[in-house]
Structure 1
């Protein structure tokens, strides 16, 4: 009984993790369409790129290190 009381919450927490998209439509819903047409030439383009990167980070498509590299590059003048 004690093992059951310990394992049940642990098993429930396993299902709460973040996993990457499993299909093209899932990836598209994560990435969005902001990046289309952005060339990085204007502040508006940079915002589109940043929104896309945020989605890729939140969707676990990029690693934490990838996201940190983007943040570092964005903060440099």
Structure 2
């Protein structure tokens, strides 16, 4: 009985530790898909249309505040 309780507690502790480290799965795949979108699929950065696809993806990521304002601004910089 004690071994079962210990295993259960260990599993719960690991679950909470992984969530605290930010490596757990997203709360909603559908939500993540709405933020990231599907524009990036097939984009290779070789054409102006590819760049528009990349930019549309970045807009969703920035709008959801996944990236900081500084990171979003950096995307728009020309190298």
Q: Distance in 1 between matches of 2:70 and 2:27?
A: 22
Q: Which runs of 4+ in 1 moved over 4 A?
A: none
1:67 aligns with 2:68: no
The structure with the larger Rg is 2
Distance 1:63 1:22, change over 3 A: farther
Root-mean-square deviation over aligned CA pairs: 1.6
Q: Report how far residue 28 of structure 1 moved.
A: 0.5
Residue 26 (str. 1) matches residue 31 (str. 2): yes
CA displacement 1:4-25 (0-9 Å, x = unmatched): xxxxxxxxxxxxxxxxx84221
One of 29, 46, 57 as aligned partner of 1:52: 57
Greater relative CO, 1 or 2 (CA 8 Å, sep 6+): 1
TM-score, normalising length from structure 1? Answer: 0.63
Q: Structure 1: give runs of 5+ residues left out of the alignment.
A: 1-20
